[in-house]
Structure 1
Amino acid sequence: MRVHRKRPDARLSPKEQETQNARLLHAAAVKEDVEAVKGALEDGAEIDAVSDKMGGRTALMAACLSGHAGAVRALLANGADWRIGEKDGYTCLHGAGFQGRASVAEVALSFGVPPNDAHDDGYMPLHRACWGGTKGHADTARALVRGGAHVGVAANGKTPLHLACQARDINLPLVRALVESGADVNEPASDGKPPLLMLIMGGPGSDARMGAVRLLAQAGADLARADSGTGQTVGDV
């Protein structure tokens, strides 16, 4: 969708003109109108201005959370600051991970946005991708690992594979992406449970869950590995 570019209006005060330019920039970012993004910047829009109408987001964060990789590319190419998060402090790769936006993640990584940037809650973008249930989350996890994300780093006691294996609805493509990226299939979480035991104990035996069990077993998961807290093994469940 095209965003109509407005020329500077002599009737507006400098502050009003600044506000108008910022609104046009944010609107263009959300609608992925790359030419309008460039036009708003040429007209003097502050690239890192925060919009009070978009949840306290910059145009870059608005584009990331809208899944518009083209707008993300245009903004980063013009110097947008990826370090400015939205109101809760989540920056662009965290948004891409949480929403499963692989193309956005790839663009951000290509501009040097660090894949292992941790939020105050301890989680990195890859951990957030592991909360999702779609193929897009699996693709985003692969993109993050290709870009340098550490597949074995724990946050709050759990690695990305632990997070994927403890989900109620197992995302089999995501588990496969992590295993193929070198995730340790035997490392226990801080509560003592290894990934395979998490899968067995986590819920009904859906096709995806059983597929993940087979995948971990084929990757070398130790069937005798016990919960270090309770001593329980797969055979006890």
Structure 2
Amino acid sequence: MEYILNIETATKNCSVALAIEGKTILCKEIAEEGYSHAERLHVFIEEILIEAGITVNDLVAIAVSQGPGSYTGLRIGVSAAKGLSYALNIPLIAVDTLKTLASQVSVSNGLIIPMIDARRMEVYSAIFTPNLEKKRAILAEIITKDSFNDIEETIYFVGDCSEKCKAVLTKENYVFLEEIKYPSAKEMDMLSFEKYKIGDTVDVAYFEPYYLKDFMITTSKK
């Protein structure tokens, strides 16, 4: 059996899932305001392997959410994934975080816009068709009442930005699926397996998360 361990830590959701040939069999995740990824991630990995009755040596690949998203969250997830991939000498697969988020939407028409909060009115977003074809590249953009005005099709918005974006995105063709808030490792299963089958992997030594924006460290003015 081809077991792939999927790791998603790009948002407040710390999520780990085990999949067999593109189908999730176990998932552990928790979304907390305090970003408990550093404490939870390795515990989730260990618990999933024990519950599945396998060891790390049974894994054929490690998949990790590549971003965009939280700088700290991405660093924790990617560091863990790279460590496992290197130690086990198995492929590392990078999965688009926004595509993972969009894959939770099941519609037959319109467009899907997954959005991840980037503070204030800025979001990380992309545009996908219902079959997850990317129609517009990932951007860090400030949302205004004029955003997406040129799109006449129904737009399904998902992500952790619904509350702040609903106030300005008010056109009749805008639909907010507020129950879909965070990307989850269980939705990475088929995305990572398809990449595994065609050998679409990344170099463990050189792979870095897709931050989209530079991480800024500010010093106290006190």
Scaled by the length of structure 1, the TM-score of the pair is: 0.25
More helix as a share of residues: 1
- Of the two structures, which has the highest relative contact order with CA contacts closer than 8 Å and spacing of 6 or more? 2
Scaled by the length of structure 2, the TM-score of the pair is: 0.26
Answer with 1 or 2: which has the greater Rg: 1
